[in-house]
Amino acid sequence: MKALKSNRISMIGVPLQYGADRIGVDMGPNAIRGSNVQARLESLGYQIHDLGDIHVNRTIEPYQTGEKLKYLKEIISVNSQLCEKVSAEMGKGNFPLVLGGDHSIAIGTIKGVLQHVSRLGVIWFDAHTDVNTHETTFSGNIHGMSLAVALGFGHPDLVAIGGLEAKLRPENVVIIGARSIDRGERTFLKEQGIRVFTMHDIDRFGMKQVMEEALAIVTNGTDGVHLSLDLDGMDPNEAPGVGTPVSGGLSYRESHFAMEMLYERDCLVSAEFVEVNPMLDQNNKTANTAVELIGSVFGERIL
């Protein structure tokens, strides 16, 4: 499958904060919109259909101590809606661009894409690996479990979204920028054989080599690639408006170079940009950076 078969992009906002259990990230989609993402993409020749936001119930009961996974019911509801919306747009031949919201929304995005792309590669840019399960989580925050769920591991009601057969294969997944990995996640990643490029690898080999290896993995035998980009993959000096910042992340230019290589490879069939939290941002810097990265992954160049 070739990326961007048409120039039609369906933009879907998901103002969800329950997966992170931190106020503010629900304002991420509108912050990205407010940084002129639609005008930027239209200037590159794309037709943008902004579908608005997935409905999130703002009046649910506060998280109750004793529940293993926080806000499970509402996160299932939101991701089920998102799965259906993404699948419907792909059925029309449109490219789904999902704006978060916390990273638990990757469950719905990926499950929706899997309705049309059975063998999907995924590049996961993140300071974290998000492969905790209900057995290994310390926090109970589902945004730290989304990749595990997409691989078929975790709470059965989350895994069942979009159908049990809709799941990623570990050999088609690459994580880039990781530098904060829980003990249970280390075990999971080794058992599943998932390739992780930590910041040490990027320091040692450079982004060009890392991306070349990553692209070789995610395009090997797949029918398309999904980009899941958490802004906390970048260094907090570059993207301060995130809920779980970790020092020593990707630089501005490393991040753009990676997006430029993705565009050149012409393999993307879907993308999401998540974890922009305007309440923690500085002069909308993180939302602006997200839009600039979106520009690069859709073909914007310096010259």
Tell me, yes or no, if 50 is annotated catalytic: no
pLDDT at 66 (0 to 100): 64
Q: Is 155 a catalytic residue?
A: no
Distance CA 121, CA 256 (A): 20
Annotated catalytic residue 128:
yes
To 5 degrees, how large is the angle CA 236–CA 27–CA 35? 70
- Please state the domain count of the chain: 1
157 is catalytic: no
What would you report as the CA-atom Rg of the chain, rounded to the nearest whole angstrom?
Answer: 17
Catalytic-labelled residue, pool 232, 238, 272, 281: 232
Which residues of the chain fall below pLDDT 70? 1-5, 63-66
Residue 145 lies in a domain: yes
- Predicted local distance difference test score (pLDDT) of residue 1: 40
CA–CA distances in Å: residue 269 to residues 50, 143, 227, 286: 17, 22, 8, 24
Nearest 10 degrees: Cα torsion 230, 234, 238, 243: 50
pLDDT in tens, 203-232: 999 999 999 999 999 999 999 999 999 999
Q: Choosing from 254, 275, 281, 300, which is the catalytic residue?
A: 275
Confirm whether 212 is domain-assigned.
Answer: yes
* 35 is a domain residue: yes
In terms of DSSP bridges, do strands 47-53 and 268-274 run parallel, antiparallel, or are they unpaired?
unpaired
What confidence tens digit (pLDDT) does each residue in 73-102 have?
Answer: 999 999 999 999 999 999 999 999 999 999
Tell me what pLDDT residue 67 has: 74
For residue 121, being part of any structural domain is answered with: yes
Predicted confidence (pLDDT) per residue in 104-117, tens digit: 999 999 999 999 99
Catalytic residue among 102, 230, 254, 260: 230
1 falls within a domain = no
Q: Which of 26, 89, 130, 281 is catalytic?
A: 130
CA distance 150 to 168: 6
The verdict on residue 132 lying in a domain is yes
Q: Please say if 126 is a catalytic residue.
A: yes
Residue tagged active-site, from 128, 155, 226, 256? 128
Please indicate whether residue 200 is annotated as part of the active site: no
Q: Which of 26, 102, 134, 143 is catalytic?
A: 143
Q: Which of 26, 89, 102, 103 is catalytic?
A: 103
Q: What is the predicted pLDDT for the residue at 21?
A: 85
Q: Is 197 part of a structural domain of the chain? A: yes
Catalytic residue selected from 126, 235, 254, 300: 126
Q: Which pLDDT value is given to residue 43?
A: 97
**Domain encompassing residue 254:** 8-297
What was the pLDDT predicted at 46?
A: 98
CATH number at residue 26: 3.40.800.10
SS (H, E, C) 155-171: CHHHHCCCCCCCCCCHH
Sheet holding 225-230, edge to edge: 47-53, 8-14, 95-100, 268-274, 225-230, 121-125, 173-178, 195-198
Confidence at residue 231, expressed as pLDDT on a 0 to 100 scale = 98
Assign residue 227 a region (left: φ > 0; alpha: ψ between -120 and 50; beta: otherwise).
beta
Helix 285-297 and helix 252-265, axial crossing angle in degrees, nearest 10: 30
Q: Which amino acid is at 160?
A: A
